[in-house]
């Protein structure tokens, strides 16, 4: 077991109507709020009006139009500018993980004199950041309970993940009813995203009985509850369980003491969504089973056997390679069964830029150091197998 240093200080306020507590939660942070949100779905579900009404005694500045795969330019830059101009006290992010990831980059940038890109690329270590409160409206990224984010830069095709303990949300509100209107496509993509967060940590050299059991439980819960959400989008318990399942995905609790991982599927998917702006969870679902098949060998088979037996209930007495292949098939079939398009061509990606993307990944993601090391050729092969 490896040494670790771990803390997740975020307060989770979870359940129906908990957002009523917003004024008392916001008050200690100050009067001036930057309210960040996306394309208007929070207006459709009445949450925008609700928040504005609850916060009528505060001074609110709004940054809207934050896109999925949130953009450095204009979103992060605009937000930083607004915070500095109006001397904002706290950021309130209302939306999914993209809005929150963008808000984290703004929170750090607002307290930095230079180009915020320095912080995202971790060239410069942030010294402080604005506090962040969020109301999460999508069960997927787990950004509400971690200190990381992913920002895209269209001029360079970069999609960069960054982490800083300063960027844990102070408080995250999670009301499952806000996810009732999430489309089937986004519900499935959220499930795939959260499952992949867990798989990225599960497939490693050394884990513990506790971590493995936690992750196996979370994977099983996600599969059961996502299906229930798809069958009945207003099933409160299923939406609630799925929301909580997603929350722990990226805060490190699943790999405390483990040997670590390089999150290879995320490394590869970031290229796909940077070059083609596809939905992150869909990209992950397409890549994951192909990555699994590509790295399956005598050295890695043991983890796949554990995964197959404990997550999918495959008979432990079968041949290890047979169990592993059955587990990979089951992974693929599950994603297919929740109507995720399982080929890159289904989401508009063809052969043409595969080698360019593979080079970009190989140059930037350090996947030669992964548990199952990936060269540029491996990455290109996984992309091709995903076509």
**Chain residues that interact with a second copy, rule: CB under 8 A:** 1-16, 18, 176, 208-210, 212-214, 216-218, 220-221, 224-225, 236-237, 240-241, 244-245, 256-257
By beta-carbon proximity to a second copy, the closer residue of 256 and 381 is 256
Strands (DSSP E) contained in 155-285 are 158-163, 171-174
Q: Which one, 121 or 221, has the nearer CB to a second copy?
A: 221
Smallest distance from a second copy to CB 136, Å: 15
Whole-number minimum distance, CB 132 to a second copy, in Å? 15
Q: How far apart are CA 30 and CA 43, in angstroms?
A: 25
Q: How far is the CB of 6 from a second copy (least distance, A)?
A: 5
Residue 176 to residue 182: CA distance in whole angstroms: 11
Q: Cis (ω within 30 of 0) for the bond into 185?
A: no
CB of 168 to a second copy, least distance (A): 10
Count of C-beta atoms within a 10 Å radius of residue 107: 29
Whole-angstrom CA distances from 165 to 128, 135, 170, 272, 343 are 10, 20, 11, 28, 36
* Residue with smaller CB distance to a second copy, 48 or 168: 168
| Burial state string for 346-383 with b = 16 or more CB within 10 A and e = fewer than 16 | ebebeeebbeebbebbbeebebeebbbebebebbbbbb
Residue (19 or 287) nearer to a second copy, CB:
19
How many CA within 13 A on the CB side of residue 259? Answer: 9
In angstroms, give the least distance from the CB of 171 to a second copy.
9
Enter the tokens of residue 214. 């936690």
3 state DSSP class of 269: helix
Q: Nearer Cβ to a second copy, position 10 or 103?
A: 10
Q: For a second copy, which is the closer residue by CB, 18 or 342?
A: 18
Would you call 57 helix, strand, or coil by DSSP?
Answer: coil
CA–CA dist 306, 207 (Å, integer): 11
CB 361 within 8 A of CB 159: no
- Contacts of residue 65, defined as CB under 8 A and 6 or more positions apart, other chains included, come to 38, 39, 75
Minimum Å gap between C-beta 126 and a second copy is 18
Instruction: Spell out where 22-157 has E strands.
Output: 32-36, 59-63, 90-95, 132-136, 148-153
Q: Cβ closer to a second copy: 191 or 370?
A: 191
Residues for the chain: how many in total?
387
User: Min. distance of Cβ 49 from a second copy in angstroms?
Assistant: 22
Closer CB to a second copy, residue 63 or residue 204? 204
Least spacing, CB of residue 145 vs a second copy, in Å: 10
Query: Judged by CB, which is closer to a second copy: 138, or 295?
Result: 138
Q: How far is the CB of 110 from a second copy (least distance, A)?
A: 23
């Amino acid at each position: 077991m490896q040494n670790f240093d771990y803390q997740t200080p975020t307060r989770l306020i979870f359940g129906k109507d908990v957002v009523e507590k917003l004024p008392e939660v916001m008050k200690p942070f100050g009067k001036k709020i930057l309210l960040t949100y996306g394309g208007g779905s929070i207006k459709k579900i009445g949450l925008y009006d609700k928040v504005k009404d609850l916060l009528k005694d505060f001074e609110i500045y709004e940054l809207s139009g934050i896109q999925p795969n949130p953009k450095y330019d204009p979103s992060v830059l605009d937000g930083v500018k607004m915070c500095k101009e109006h001397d904002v006290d706290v950021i309130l992010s209302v939306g999914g993980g993209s809005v929150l990831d963008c808000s984290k980059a703004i929170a750090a940038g607002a307290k930095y004199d230079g180009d915020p890109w320095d912080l995202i690329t971790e060239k410069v270590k942030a010294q402080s950041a604005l506090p962040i409160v969020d109301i999460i409206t999508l069960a997927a990224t787990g950004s509400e309970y971690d200190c990381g984010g992913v920002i895209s830069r269209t001029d360079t095709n970069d999609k960069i993940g960054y982490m800083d303990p300063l960027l844990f949300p102070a408080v995250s509100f999670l009301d499952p009813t806000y996810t009732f209107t999430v489309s089937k496509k986004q519900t499935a993509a959220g499930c795939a995203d959260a499952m992949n967060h867990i798989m990225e940590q599960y497939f490693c050299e050394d884990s513990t009985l506790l971590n493995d059991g936690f992750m196996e439980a979370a994977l099983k819960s996600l599969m059961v509850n996502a299906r229930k959400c798809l069958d009945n989008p207003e099933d409160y318990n299923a939406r609630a369980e799925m929301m909580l399942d997603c929350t722990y995905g990226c805060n490190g609790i699943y790999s405390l003491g483990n040997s670590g991982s390089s999150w290879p599927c995320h490394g590869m998917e970031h290229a796909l969504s940077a070059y083609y702006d596809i939905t992150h969870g869909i990209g992950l679902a397409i890549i994951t089973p192909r990555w699994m098949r590509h790295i399956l060998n005598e050295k890695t088979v043991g983890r796949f056997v554990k995964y197959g037996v404990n997550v999918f209930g495959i008979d432990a007495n079968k041949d290890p390679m047979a169990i592993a292949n059955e587990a990979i098939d089951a992974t693929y079939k599950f994603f297919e069964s929740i109507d995720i398009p399982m080929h890159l061509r289904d989401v508009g990606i063809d052969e043409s830029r595969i080698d360019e993307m593979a080079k970009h990944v190989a140059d930037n993601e350090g996947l030669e150091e992964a548990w199952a090391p990936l060269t540029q050729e491996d990455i290109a092969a996984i992309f091709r197998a995903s076509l």
